């Protein structure tokens, strides 16, 4: 079955379309409402994972190890949901960068692009806004994150260069 699925994906990619196998025919996923739903669901499940991980830490601090375990196991379930959404999305592109994903080289290119956007545009812009609004501590936090994202981009770029 895996070989059949891969073959179907290969045919679809070679045709120049981003498709998923439907019940009776290949249909275009890119730009469809389902494509947007997958992007929204991926974002929601990813956020739920991080929220529940945070909640688990707080439950641990308060001595509620049993509740922490519930949060952690649910967070893992949300990770599984997010990964399946991303698998479907990979038929089109990375939802964050709109670049191809799937093999390690493509994944590294997408990671570099995402991290570069975060350190050159996203976090500096957020820092300026926070500063303008009087949230100096948050502005400082965003600037710190920009530096971290630059480091991440460099690590991914180095790994990509080693592959080439």
> Are 79 and 109 members of one domain?
no
Give the range of the structural domain holding residue 158, as residue numbers without chain letter.
Answer: 104-163
pLDDT of residue 63: 99
> Are 118 and 146 members of one domain?
yes
Please count the structural domains in the chain.
3
How many angstroms separate the CA atoms of 132 and 25, rounded? 53
Q: What mean pLDDT is predicted for residues 10-28? A: 50
pLDDT of residue 26: 67
pLDDT of residue 1: 32
How many angstroms separate the CA atoms of 11 and 5, rounded? 10
> Are 38 and 68 members of one domain?
yes
98 domain-assigned: no
Encode pLDDT of 132-146 as tens digits.
Answer: 999 999 999 999 999
pTM of the full structure: 0.81
> Are 109 and 159 members of one domain?
yes
Q: What mean pLDDT is predicted for residues 18-41? A: 78
pLDDT of residue 91: 94
Output the CA torsion 68→69→73→79 (10° steps): 30
């Amino acid at each position: 079955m895996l070989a059949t699925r891969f073959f179907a994906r290969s045919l679809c990619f070679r045709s120049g379309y981003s498709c998923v196998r439907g019940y009776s025919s290949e249909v275009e996923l890119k730009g469809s409402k389902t494509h947007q739903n997958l992007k929204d669901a991926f974002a929601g499940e990813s956020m739920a994972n991080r929220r529940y991980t945070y909640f688990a830490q707080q439950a641990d601090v308060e001595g509620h190890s049993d509740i922490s375990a519930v949060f952690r196991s649910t967070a893992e379930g949300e990770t599984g949901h997010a990964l399946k959404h991303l698998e479907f999305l990979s038929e089109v592109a990375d939802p964050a960068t709109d670049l191809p994903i799937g093999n390690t080289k493509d994944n590294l290119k997408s990671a570099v692009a995402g991290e570069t956007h975060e350190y050159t545009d996203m976090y500096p812009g957020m820092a300026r806004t926070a500063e303008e609004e009087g949230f100096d501590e948050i502005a400082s936090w965003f600037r710190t994150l920009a530096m971290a994202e630059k480091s991440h981009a460099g690590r991914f770029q180095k790994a990509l260069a080693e592959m080439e």
